[in-house]
Amino acid sequence: MEKRRLSFWEIWNMSFGFLGIQMGFALQNANASRILQIFGADVHELSWFWIIAPLMGLIVQPIIGHYSDKTWGRFGRRKPYFLVGALLASIGLILMPQAKIFIAFLPALWVGAGMLMIMDASFNIAMEPFRALVGDNLRTDQRTLGFSVQTALIGFGAVIGSWLPYALNHWFGISNETSEGEVPFNLILSFIIGAIILIASILITVISTKEYTPEELKSFETEKESSEAMNNGENKEKSSLLDIFDDFRKMPITMRQLSWVQFFSWFGLFGMWVFATPAIAQHIYGLPFTDSSSKTYQDAGDWIGILFGVYNLVSAFYAFALPYIAKKMGRKRTHAISLIIGGIGLLSIYIMPNENWLIISMIGVGIAWASILAMPYAILAGSISPRKMGVYMGIFNFFIVIPQIINALIGGPLVKYAYDNHAIFALMVSGVSFLIAASLVFKVKDVDDVVQL
């Protein structure tokens, strides 16, 4: 038997929840450092607070992947996980910028960091089952398209989330001015709107998408896949969480090779997310690194949201082109060239004369971001067993979160001691990291690089 070929709009609805997830994620990425600085965090401490995000991914995603592989009930296999994740993430979104309401119990900075942890754990609960759902529901010849549609929705959601604080201030007159230690109202309202859209978009996917039963998925396996599953012990009736370690040991060679590409890609992304606000506030706006409350700093923070929205908007449109480019050039070459363009984009920030020119830099970053979100997963999906799709997508996340943890541990001290509190150099390291990732792509064996659209 063969899986049914899905229409474009069925694939779109299947991934639509990612729009809301990424809107919330974008609000966090563009504004968490700003909020933590408002609550009292120093620039060199920011990466230590951000370590919460990759730690949550390291712990949560493989566990969720393992259990979602084993789950089947009236609500499906993957859908219960990203629905619960969305509900929890929405709570974190609403409460993080309003952490001062808990000041009677804990300092606002620690409450804000706690809400960041809740958001990250929840995004991770929701995110990897979405990745696995594409592998479950789509035929081999539609997977690149599936991950590209998912990337496009991620881009659109991130644009909305990134631009929302700026739009509320400049288009609707909602103030971004504030006193020391207070989060501006345009930012608080943005997070509330993000939580509402997150829940609504997840519900669209839950209601519109049908999942294959475990029996149906088994019937789709080829004779080769069934034999490999038997040899790897995947047919045993009982399994435990400890099987994750065995699965890690048996990961396919393609996955091992991709791990290094992912390491340097996400090391670079994390540095950009954490240090973009202080780096651009200092390097472009000329502010001292201690400034976190002036009107100019708030304007810089809103402009960072616009810039993040630009790279996500570019990624959304570039994602639609990826299947066609990959068909002509191959997935590996497409990914390598995209990463090179992104690396050059990050490095160019250093020489830009003002904030408007940074849009050009972000166009390059957007091209790399689209490819990072699609190509590695399209390459990986063809190399792993359908029965292990969830757990291997979760394990693959190790190579996303481990570089972020390393960057979180060393990024702050580097900014303080090596860069003399000039955060712009953290962005330069991110650009070099992208270029290293591009060089490693060519070592990857893509076992399934044939795309039929």
Tens-place pLDDT, residues 14-30: 889 889 988 988 888 78
Give, in degrees to the nearest 5, the angle at Cα 124 between 255 and 236.
Answer: 55
Over the stretch 166-211, which tens digit does the pLDDT of each residue have? 899 989 999 888 777 788 899 999 999 999 999 999 999 888 888 8
Q: What distance in Å separates the CA atoms of residue 306 and residue 190, rounded to the nearest whole number?
A: 14
Over the stretch 31-82, which tens digit does the pLDDT of each residue have? 888 888 888 877 777 777 777 767 776 777 667 766 777 777 777 778 888 7
Q: What distance in Å separates the CA atoms of residue 282 and residue 71, rounded to the nearest whole number?
A: 49
DSSP 101: G
Q: Tokens representing 424?
A: 């712009």
Neighbours of 342 (CB within 10 A): 35
Range 437-440, long-range pairs (CB < 8 A, 24+ positions): 437/260, 437/261, 437/262, 437/263, 437/264, 437/265, 437/268, 437/339, 438/335, 438/336, 438/337, 438/339, 438/340, 438/343, 439/336, 440/257, 440/260, 440/261, 440/264
Bridge partners of 76, per DSSP, are 73
**Do the beta carbons of residue 220 and residue 2 sit within 8 Å?**
yes
pLDDT at 356: 94
For residue 285, which phi and psi values (nearest 5 degrees)? Answer: -90, -10
pLDDT at 452: 37
- Of residues 324, 332, 325, 328, the one with CA closest to residue 453: 324
Domains, the chain, in order of start with CATH, read: 8-211+244-441 (1.20.1250.20)
pLDDT at 453: 35
Q: What distance in Å separates the CA atoms of residue 78 and residue 73, rounded to the nearest whole number?
A: 10
pLDDT at 451: 42
As to burial, measured by CB atoms within 10 angstroms (0-12 exposed, 13-18 middle, 19+ buried), residue 253 is exposed
Mark the ranges of the chain whose per-residue pLDDT is less than 50: 223-224, 228-238, 450-453
Q: What distance in Å separates the CA atoms of residue 376 and residue 444, rounded to the nearest whole number?
A: 10
- Residue matched to tokens 């933590």: 36
- Residue matched to tokens 């830009």: 352
- Considering the entire predicted model, what is its pTM? 0.71
